[in-house]
Chain A
């Protein structure tokens, strides 16, 4: 049972334009969400997070939006840069009880110069 889904395995965007990566989840108990970026031969690197009490969190060029009613979150990168080319994973967790992070399958972003 895939509780966190990233339905787009890949995405190509022109440099300077907006990249939008999407993630859906099924478990309504999740209340903390994260995005990770992964370069080849490296471990995932934490990018940005959002708690369910918010619907938006921004950090520089990266903004995460959360739509709890739709159980959907998205990561916006503006403007996109060639160095943003990587695999992006979303992850979800709940802050009560025994928690663990559930990861999606990832979206490979390619930013074209």
Chain B
């Protein structure tokens, strides 16, 4: 089966600019996650979707971050305006079921550098 696809792989922007990341999960996976991984830290959940509904966005900085999952398939994460501290790898993951006993399948991530 094809894995989780993310694009772009790398992005460099200046602070206050906007940026968008795209994710296509594994076919048939109902749950989609966006994680932020800052260098030297573990992945931190930003938002979790169940089909096209939001399950958890408690750690999403909603003043600058937004995400959508139209039609319950692929998803877009946007940052506007970007800050220096947003420099990180943004990982998309999916899982087949709603149950917690379901490992996440990660994409290769988008490395964002904000200058």
Interface string of A8-41 (1 = CB under 8 A from B): 0000000000000000000000001010100001
Kindly identify which residue among B42, B45, B105 contacts A100, using a CB–CB cutoff of 8 Å.
B45
Within 13-50 of B, Cβ neighbours of A (below 8 Å) are at 33, 35, 40-45, 48
Q: Are B4 and A93 in contact (CB under 8 A)?
A: no
Which residues of chain B are within 8 angstroms of A98 by Cβ–Cβ distance?
A: 55-56
Name the CB-closest residue of B to A30.
B100
On chain A, the number of residues with a Cβ less than 8 Å from chain B's Cβ atoms is 27
Name the CB-closest residue of A to B103.
A46
Name the CB-closest residue of A to B40.
A105
Which residues of chain B are within 8 angstroms of A102 by Cβ–Cβ distance?
A: 45
Cα A101 to Cα B43 with chains together (Å)? 9
Q: A89-B43, A103-B44 are in contact. Are A45 and B100 (CB under 8 A)?
A: no
Name the CB-closest residue of A to B92.
A43
Q: Are A44 and B106 in contact (CB under 8 A)?
A: yes
Kindly identify which residue among A41, A46, A95 contacts B108, using a CB–CB cutoff of 8 Å.
A41
Which residues of chain B are within 8 angstroms of A51 by Cβ–Cβ distance?
A: 101
Which residues of chain B are within 8 angstroms of A99 by Cβ–Cβ distance?
A: 100
Name the CB-closest residue of B to A44.
B106
- With most chain B CB atoms within 10 A of its CB, the pick from A46, A49, A104 is A46
**Chain A interface (Cβ within 8 Å of chain B)?**
4, 6, 32, 34, 36, 41-46, 49, 51, 89, 91, 93-95, 98-106
Q: List 25 A-B contacts (CB under 8 A).
A: A6-B42, A32-B100, A36-B106, A42-B108, A43-B4, A43-B91, A43-B107, A43-B109, A45-B106, A46-B103, A49-B101, A89-B42, A91-B42, A93-B100, A94-B100, A95-B99, A100-B48, A100-B56, A101-B100, A103-B35, A103-B42, A103-B43, A105-B40, A105-B42, A106-B41
With A98-B56, A101-B45 given, name 9 new contacts (CB 8 A). Answer: A4-B42, A32-B101, A43-B106, A44-B104, A46-B105, A94-B100, A95-B100, A99-B100, A105-B40
